[in-house]
């Protein structure tokens, strides 16, 4: 009986630890500083990543190189993810973040900007098809 309780407790702790690092709006909110830029095969920087990015609680991504705030969505539905991967196959296996400019209502399955992303503590990676990954560190 004690083993069952111990096993159940360990399963809950592991589940909670996994959830703590899951990519969601709350985990992204704040300011991020670029530490390694995304480049294409010719060494040109990616226009969809900035030196600094701010993620807001209302779902906006703001950067100095963006003409206006982008709306973003993390943890898209299965259909939205499949549509994004179909258009960007090199992002297969990564978590997907979708982005669109402006405040227009979006069909997220057709989001014009697709990022492959990974969040580990205060380290955030964003990848756009055709570019190396950009790496960010959360500012305190």
Residues 76-117: tens digit of each pLDDT: 999 999 999 999 999 999 999 999 887 666 788 888 899 999
Distance of CA 127 to the CA centre of its chain: 9
HEC assignment per residue over the chain:
CHHHHHHHHHHHHHHHHHHHCCCCHHHHCEEEEEEECCECCCCCECCCCCCEEEECCCCEEECCCCCCCEEEEECCCHHHHHHHHHHCHHHCCCEEEEEEECCCCCCHHHCCEEEEEEEECCEEEEECCCCCCEEEEECC
pLDDT one-digit tens code per residue, 46-79 = 988 889 999 999 999 999 877 788 899 998 999 9
pTM of the model: 0.78
Predicted pLDDT of residue 104: 61
Which residue ranges form the domains of the chain, and what is each CATH number?
21-138 (2.40.128)
> Half-sphere exposure of residue 28, counting CA atoms within 13 Å on the CB side?
26
Residue range 20-28: mean pLDDT, rounded: 70
């Amino acid at each position: 009986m004690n083993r069952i309780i111990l096993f159940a407790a360990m399963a809950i702790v592991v589940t909670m630890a996994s959830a703590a690092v899951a990519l969601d709006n709350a985990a992204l909110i704040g300011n991020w500083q670029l530490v390694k830029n995304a480049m294409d095969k010719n060494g040109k920087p990616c226009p969809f990543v900035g030196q600094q990015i701010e993620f807001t609680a209302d779902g906006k991504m703001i950067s100095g190189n963006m003409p206006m705030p982008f709306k973003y969505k993390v943890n898209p539905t299965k259909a939205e993810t499949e549509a994004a991967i179909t258009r960007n196959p090199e992002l297969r296996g990564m978590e997907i973040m979708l982005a669109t400019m402006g405040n227009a209502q979006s069909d997220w399955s057709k989001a014009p900007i697709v990022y492959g992303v990974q969040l580990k503590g205060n380290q955030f990676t964003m990848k756009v098809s055709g570019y190396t990954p950009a790496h960010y560190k959360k500012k305190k």
